[in-house]
A and B are shown apart, each in its own frame.
Chain A
Amino acid sequence: MGAPIAPADLRERFEREVMPVLPNLFAAALRMTRNRSDAEDLLQETYLRAFRGFGGFEEGSNLRAWLYRIMTNAYINLYRKRQREPITVSDEDVPDWYLYEKIGPDGAEPSAEAVVLDSLPDEDVQRALEELPEAFRMAVLLADVQGFAYKEIAEILDIPIGTVMSRLHRGRKALQKRLWDSMRERGLVTD
């Protein structure tokens, strides 16, 4: 262990290393809290907690995962209980390959599914993610949006890897169902 870092250096390093991750963290906070004002508060709280703990953070280790763990814990402590649970989408009776079967290539129009997927507005996709039950939402957010490995997700959420895989699998199916509903609402597909 080297010489202790001067507080000014620590702060400078903190701001330098964390700054690039902020837009990422904020986007995730939005999907977690599902409203802008809470997302801003959550980000601030995360930033503060991270700063307080930064002295103990091992340089060179996984900063993103560490920040996400802090944010997830802050979300659970502060926001989860407060929020009304919206109507959520279930994965019940959704087979694997649900969306593929519905809009995937069938030989007749090979480009149809690309057109449909590209035509979905971002906000529809965001809503779909936000309407997943929380456990599924967190798994899909961390895996598909933020690109964490299963092992990292297990650490961030403090759950076994098997549970990560199960929630991901079910969450993706529920998401496909919700995306299909969106596509129908937008008139991009017919039943």
Chain B
Amino acid sequence: MSPIDCERTLEQIALYLDGELVGEASIEVHQHVETCTPCHDRAEFQRRLKELVRGACGECEMPPGLLDRLKAFLDAVDG
């Protein structure tokens, strides 16, 4: 298996970071990213960006009382 080049790697970087590559395709990209500094830097940046968005928007304090309202809803429906 000949190693893939930067262009090919970067084309697939989103798929790779999204966990959508499997088998040999995944290994190829992984190996390139681990050994090529410019590609590694780009991959790291994308990863950080994803984490930024996830961290800022992922979970939220439930407003007080909402859980109680949900429970009351079920009581009403359940009858």
How long is the Cα–Cα vector from A97 to B41 in the complex, in angstroms? 11
Does B1 sit within 8 A of A, measured CB to CB? no
**Per-position binary interface string of chain A over residues 165-186, scored 1 when its CB falls under 8 Å from any chain B CB and 0 otherwise:** 0001100100110010000000
How long is the Cα–Cα vector from A138 to B17 in the complex, in angstroms? 19
B25 to chain A minimum Cβ distance, whole angstroms, is 14
Instruction: Report the contact-size class of chain A (Cβ under 8 Å from the partner).
Output: 35 or more
List which B1-41 residues lie within 8 A (CB) of chain A. Answer: 10, 14, 18-20, 41
- Cβ contact of A145, chosen from B14, B19, B45, B58, cutoff 8 A: B58
Contacting pair B45 A113 (CB below 8 A) = yes
B7 to chain A minimum Cβ distance, whole angstroms, is 12
How long is the Cα–Cα vector from A124 to B23 in the complex, in angstroms? 38
- Using a CB–CB cutoff of 8 Å, the interface residues on chain B facing chain A are 10, 14, 18-20, 41-42, 45-46, 48-50, 52-63, 66-67, 69-71, 73-74, 77-78
Beyond the given pairs A22-B70, A125-B56, 8 more chain A to chain B contacts, judged by CB atoms under 8 angstroms and listed by A's residue number, are A23-B61, A48-B73, A122-B56, A123-B56, A129-B53, A141-B57, A168-B14, A176-B49
